[in-house]
Amino acid sequence: MSSPPHSVHIVFVPLLAQGHMIPMVDMAQIFASRGAVATIYTTPVNAHRFRTTIDRSTELGMPIQFVEIPFPCEEVGLPIGYENLDILPSPELLAKFYHAMGKLQEPIEKHLRERTPAPSCMISDRNISWSSETAQRFGIPRFVFHAMGCFPVLSAHNVKHSNCLDSITSDLVPFEVPGMPKGFKITKAQLPGNSVHQQDFEVFRGKIQEAELAAQGVVLNSFDDLEHGCIEAYQKVIGKRVWCVGPVSLCNKNESDMFQRGNEASSDAENCMAWLDSMKPRSVIYACLGSLYRLAPSQLMELGRGLGASQQPFVWVIKRGEGDSELENWLMEERFEERVKGRGIVIRGWAPQVAILSHLAIGGFLTHCGWNSALEGMCSALPMITWPLFAEQFVNEVLVVDILRIGVRVGAKVPVRWGEERKVGILVREDEIARAIHALVSEDEEGQERRKRAAELGEKARQAMQEGGSSHSNVSRVLQYIMAGPTQEAV
């Protein structure tokens, strides 16, 4: 299709969490690169994290901008500056955080009334329920953005609407998830929704589900070849159009875009890139367990020991504040970095994950199976070691290990609830971590076939985003839907 006129104006309303914001900013850039005006509403702390990315896009002539809305921390009883979920120290503040998110509705609507061109469409995170009212007030379609793939979304829908859990008495016995194009088993404990139990948060869950029903369609960061029939099945059960427009991380094509995506990288990260240049191709394991959870220091020590015992070169990312002084003391007492010097490197703080995974020296990815991380690993054609922690990550593990067959389980069997990381202590031992690494890098037939499948999947991911590919075509279909007006059925 030809580029839409700049009068097509798509409003993006992300949940203020790194795993949700990063793909939505990428998606906004993709639509802007196709000629649509893209406005992303966020807050000052979050805008600062992405400012370099957006500035570079506008310099290239893309009609994209951030609009910063002050986050009402004090008004709802949050400490000043707590504007992203990865900053919250505990789930006890989650309801206040969502309450503050709700207070962004009025200033966003005020800004939209004054904005030219007028909005044509809204793409909002599924967790932003009030955006449904806003879209209705402006008479524009609203598409829900899930920060996960169609496979876990369909799984959760089928479990909820089949009542299959009514007859399951044990949390730890695997059961068959009904209605899936490719059958699989999982335990009740591993289902999404078990990571946070907050009574005052349940009211938000109800509103989120109600707003989702009112949406005109669903936009996902995925691609058709990854989903094995789940897109068609999900469209059928919800009666709405589902568009996969990813992997959106592939819109970051040059090294600067990859390095500065999502946040400012630490100085450790710059040293890491230079170190990787000196390593053999496909020799290094990249270990990163996401931006939200802070595992118990004892569990992180086991991870460090496992990486050390594997004798494999590695990059280990440790979040700021993770383990606090306890982990740092252990690293110093064990002279960990000194002992692995030349073979391993530790990054403290934000790591430019796409840039690292794209480096030719990386040969495997130890991941928590967050959707963004899993996709980024696939785009880099990497086999993965799976260590799910919470949310839909155990379902993603099934996709990576059992269906795509590009992963090795580390052995995690139960989720870690947010705020209870120290209570659960050690769930995965040093020897299990070393075993999984050895299996991943093995030159036996199974290891070689796993790497071959990962390479093929990486190629399919790249093809999906190229002109004529499924995701490139779906972006065109979304734009056609918007330009045709709200009365037309989804294409």
Beta strands in 319-404, from DSSP E residues, in sequence order: 344-348, 362-367, 384-386
Q: What confidence score (pLDDT) does residue 334 get?
A: 95
Distances (CA, A) of 273 to 49, 308, 347, 356, 442: 21, 20, 11, 7, 25
**φ, ψ for residue 12 (rounded to 5)?**
-110, 125
d(CA 69, CA 67) in angstroms, rounded, equals 7
**54 burial level (CB within 10 Å; 0-12, 13-18, 19+):** buried
CA distances from 373 to 122, 247, 249 (A): 26, 11, 10
Q: Where are the domains of the chain?
A: 9-251+464-484, 255-462
pLDDT value of position 489? 45
Cα distances (Å, whole numbers) of residue 134 to 130, 141, 243, 344: 7, 10, 22, 50
Mean pLDDT across 111-133: 95
**Contact residues for 119 (Cβ-Cβ < 8 A; gap 6+):** 9, 10, 11, 39, 112, 138, 140
Give the model's pLDDT for residue 207: 86
DSSP 399: I
Q: Kindly report the CATH class assigned to 9-251+464-484.
A: alpha beta
> What is the predicted pLDDT for the residue at 458?
98
- Mean pLDDT, to the nearest integer, of 387-395? 94
For 333-397, where are the E strands, in sequence order? 344-348, 362-367, 384-386
Q: How many CB atoms lie within 10 A of CB 466?
A: 11
What pLDDT does 291 receive?
74
Confidence of residue 199 (pLDDT cuts 50, 70, 90): low
Q: Give the rounded percent of residues in the chain with a pLDDT score beyond 90.
A: 77
Candidate CATH numbers 2.70.98.10, 3.90.420.10, 3.40.50.2000, 3.40.50.300; the one for domain 255-462? 3.40.50.2000
Burial class (CB in 10 A: 0-12, 13-18, 19+), 337: middle
Question: Which has more pLDDT, 439 or 7?
Answer: 439
Between CA 19 and CA 280 the distance in angstroms is: 31
Q: Is residue 491 scored above 50 in pLDDT?
A: no
* pLDDT reading at 1 higher than 80: no
More reliable by pLDDT, 263 or 105:
105
- For the chain, give the mean pLDDT: 91
For residue range 261-285, list pLDDT tens digits in order.
656 666 777 889 999 999 999 999 9
Give yes or no for a contact between 231 and 242, defined as CB atoms under 8 angstroms apart.
yes
Cα dist. 467→72, 380, 464, 480 in Å?
Answer: 42, 20, 8, 16
486 pLDDT above the threshold of 70: no
User: Is the Cβ–Cβ distance between 131 and 18 less than 8 Å?
Assistant: no
Chain segment 274-315, per-residue pLDDT in tens: 999 999 999 999 999 987 767 889 999 999 999 999 999 999
What's the pLDDT at 62? 93
Span 13-41, pLDDT tens digits:
999 999 999 999 999 999 999 999 999 99
Query: In CATH terms, are 9-251+464-484 and 255-462 the same topology?
Result: yes
The predicted pLDDT at position 303 comes to 97
Residue 455 has pLDDT above 60, yes or no: yes
What's phi and psi for 276, nearest 5 deg?
-60, -35
- Is the pLDDT assigned to residue 3 strictly greater than 70? no
pLDDT category of residue 490 using cuts at 50, 70 and 90: very low
